[in-house]
Amino acid sequence: MKISEFKKLLVEHSTKNVRFVLPIGSKVPPHAHVTEVARIDKRFVDCGGTFRTESVCRLQTWFQNDTEHRLTAGKLAGILDKAGSFLGKDDLEVDVEYEAPFISQFPIESIEADGESLVLQLGLKHTACLAEDKCMPPKPISFEAIPTFKAPQKCCG
């Protein structure tokens, strides 16, 4: 989900408490809050030798013993506004960092208003080869795909 769509939904539901749901269906404790908003810029070279860049807006979540604490959508929208100076004009993808039980990043798959909550359904990230055409072995030839030779039929006895 891009920042622009994310902020629009936060503003539309500013009084609702933000809830995070992990890809496996379990919920992050309701008193979790966003401790950081960051712009992560990654520069790398893939296995095929192509230089690439990738940028994301990352929301780091955390919770402690302050079980009465709640993060509203409006407050999170305000934090994102303050981060505007370094997030820039780019409409970055937003992901959520959570320690579950190790630090992981989850893309926001969907957002749904549910009663007093604005529920952020988190998805999974996957690794991939970005240069399969350059670094992967060629696929074996399938002989089923090759037409078989057929001798011409005689037309006259």
The total of other beta-carbon atoms located within 10 Å of residue 139's CB is 6
pLDDT at 137: 74
The confidence score (pLDDT) of residue 156 equals: 57
Q: Report residue 40 as tokens.
A: 């992560």
Max Cα distance, the chain (Å): 96
Contact 63, 27 (CB under 8 A): no
Model pTM above 0.85: no
Q: How many angstroms separate the CA atoms of 46 and 49, rounded? A: 5
Determine the average pLDDT of the residues in 124-131: 92
SS3 55: strand
Q: Which amino acid is at 69?
A: H
Q: How confident is the model at residue 138 (pLDDT cuts 50, 70, 90)?
A: confident
| Rounded average pLDDT over 59-75 | 92
Q: What is the pLDDT of residue 154?
A: 58
Residue 155 has pLDDT above 60, yes or no: no
